[in-house]
Structure 1
Amino acid sequence: MKALKTLALMLALVAAPAAFAAGAMEGMDMKPSATSQASQQAPHPVAAEIRKIDPQAGKVTLKHGPIENLGMSAMTMAFPVKDRDSLKNFKEGESVFVTFDKVDGKPTVVDMRRK
């Protein structure tokens, strides 16, 4: 009988923190994190400078500002371009506005226009 009481007490002590934690989280504001919110934002143009154009690979290297809808900070990076043919309309060193989005799970240039 004493062993049964000891077991019951041990189970109560083990279960108490879990019950307390579940109750303590009630009423908490459980909004999505910044990274998950980033992917839900609508794409908008970002100022950038064309550093390199690789028409064969369909990529452009850009020095760009923050890309909020992808949760990316400002940096220089190569991106695939959704419309490869559009690359012939640009040259290295040009200032542009670029719209980025995820295509097949990858950050991609979906539109690029001169400033």
Structure 2
Amino acid sequence: MLGLIVAAGIPALAKASGHDHGAPSAATKAAATQAAQPQSDGEIKKVDKEVGKITIKHGRLANLDMAPMTMVFKVKDPTMLEQVKVGDKVKFTAEKLSGALTVTALQSATIAGQSKVAETMPAVDTKAVAQLQSDGEIKKVDKEAGKITVKHGPLANLDMPAMTMVFKVKDAVMLEQVKTGDKVKFTAEKINGAFTITALQASM
């Protein structure tokens, strides 16, 4: 009888000890959360290598529910500070780590071949890249559907005349950066059969 009681208690003890192999681990959940963090656009205002911090003028940080502003961030990896300089346009991911707002991913977003990627590919025709851009005016932003309506000039790369049409966006973050009436420069491509905006910025 004593043996039966002990045997019956083993599953309960295993569950209480956290040996539930069907549940996702904390590390798996953390990795999934980090992968879901969106990128934001910004401009470098100051790089302080001595204290490991960077000042960025940025747009809305959707994952942190923060409005556009200029603020100081810590960096997760000090080597990030070697990759950028004051005035650089960047795309970055910011998270709150141990109570501090921290940049966890950072890359140059400068157009016309000046990004880090373009620097490693000197054969890129920067004039051709610039020609892919078109001028337009935002007519509607549909965040729920992930689409944007743009009144645009001719799209040379798609051989399309000037018109007003609805596009998908490659990155939903783009919909947070513009509003109805904004003048923009954008790049549109046909991806999986759908006309999709792959780059978008306010027109100066």
Shorter-chain TM-score range: 0.5 to 0.7
1:52 corresponds to which of 127, 135, 140:
140
TM-score (norm 1): 0.61
Report what 1:65 is aligned to: 153
- The runs of at least 4 aligned residues of structure 1 exceeding 6 Å deviation read none
Counterpart Cα distance in 1 of 2:142 and 2:190: 20
C-alpha displacement of 1:102: 1.2
Percent of aligned pairs sharing the same letter: 41
User: Pairwise mapping of residues 73-112 of structure 1 onto structure 2 (< 5 A)?
Assistant: 73-112=161-200
Give the number of aligned pairs. Answer: 75
Asked if 2 retains the 8 angstrom alpha-carbon contact of 1:62 and 1:78, the reply is: yes
Counterpart Cα distance in 2 of 1:49 and 1:103: 22
CA RMSD of aligned residues (A): 1.5
- The C-alpha deviation readout for 1:13-53, integer Å capped at 9, x for no partner, is xxxxxxxxxxxxxxxxxxxxxxxxxxxx8661100000000
The higher-RCO structure (CA 8 Å, 6+ apart) is: 1
C-alpha displacement of 1:63: 0.3
Structure with larger Rg = 1
2:201 matches 1:113: yes
Structure 2 gap ranges (5+): 1-127
- The C-alpha deviation readout for 1:56-97, integer Å capped at 9, x for no partner, is 111000000000111110000010011112211111100000
Asked if 2 retains the 8 angstrom alpha-carbon contact of 1:70 and 1:107, the reply is: no
TM-score (norm 2): 0.35
